[in-house]
Structure 1
Amino acid sequence: MGIPMDDIHAPTVASGPTSAPGRNGRDVSSLSLNELFEEKTRLEAELKALSSVLDSHGVTMSTTLTTFDGYPRDDLDIAQIRTTRARIIRLRNDYKDVMTQVEKGVHAHFAQLQQQNATCPTPAATAPATDLPPITTPAIEEATSSQAGIIETPFAKINSVVEGSPAAQAGIKAGDRIRSFGHINWMNHENLTKVAEVVQRNEGNVVLVKLVRQNESGEARDLSLRLVPQRNWGGRGLLGCHLVLV
């Protein structure tokens, strides 16, 4: 359900943005929550920029870089694409590490607040202790809503949609790129097998689908749609659409 990624080599050519000096290999477990959120934002920005590098070449992470007979394609900057892909893979791993620490930090922060309030339930105790890391309210809300550590990179594309199907009724269109399908995203879709599991488990229930859609002028916009997998709609399957990896 997709083309395997080419072997990655890392020639010494520019491939777009690079991390801030000294950040690679840093032990993120030593960072405060606010520093973790800053690192998260930085990684997201760099991943977005690197994704734009691939877009400028008209390729994705899985586009084949060789001809049918095994020769490098002469219409692509193979060196830059491979370097960019390698960088994206490393940054995705860094991002997972950062978000794992964010989740731990947020849980620890609230646990400490609850313990403090339980032992000293006074108005003064409701304020954060001075030894707690300073965390802004938006940062806490962001961590609470995205504890799984998701950067919503599209991982699948809608290849076709059957008229009158559950997918069509939800407003999904051919060409849409899926950012998340329920709790499934680019880090855990496992070649789309987990998407199929979510569909099977949620027959008759609402599944939130986040996607990106391009208009005729090439402008992209984010959408959140409510999809209800169901049978007996007049066609095959529970969705009535075909997904492929991007």
Structure 2
Amino acid sequence: MDNIHAPTVPAGPSSRPLTNGNAKHLSFAELQAKKENLEAELKALGGVLDSHGVNMETPLTTADGFPRADIDVAQIRTTRARIIHLKNDYKDLMNTIEKHLHEHFASIQDIEDVAPAPVSHAEMLGDSIPETLAETFAKVNSVVADSPADSAGLKPGDEIRNFGYANKSNHDDLKKVAECVQGNEGQRILVKISRRAESNRRQELQLNLIPRRNWGGRGLLGCHILPL
């Protein structure tokens, strides 16, 4: 019998190449966006394990060697495998970011002949660099009054650029949005939207959406989202 505790995919190198080509040629802002996406997805997957009451080391068999009937063993194994791959991706990405930082400091020193003061990853990749807006991939079709979506400030017609870790390149026909919602029940999700304002101008907003049950309606959000 196969080791039931093992992930369905073997651990090893990164699960896939970083999107948008070679990460070495990406800007600091793009690298930071990838870092945030990976962190958000890892958090969501951790939430999936928490919902089953397990972690990466919890046994999945009974004392006599049979699969436990009180948990979804297949989903847990798949989730663990995804976490392992994402952690490998995250490690590779952080190595790339560190290399970029060293090269950035070296270029400053070459030009000014002055050693730069130590700067953290967050400072280098934060507000000092203009944010590159992601493409919109979904549109809010309707919002129920007094729902979590309504409380967050979502409105019909809003176009979504980022929904947690879901974006144009990975949303998989909104499946990643659903996964993000289910894995973050009761937790804050950062949603970046583009809203039509006066004179057909666009307003870029960042909203904090907290999925929850028992708000008085169906689902965890209380809104209908369509892919663009």
TM-score by length of 1: 0.46
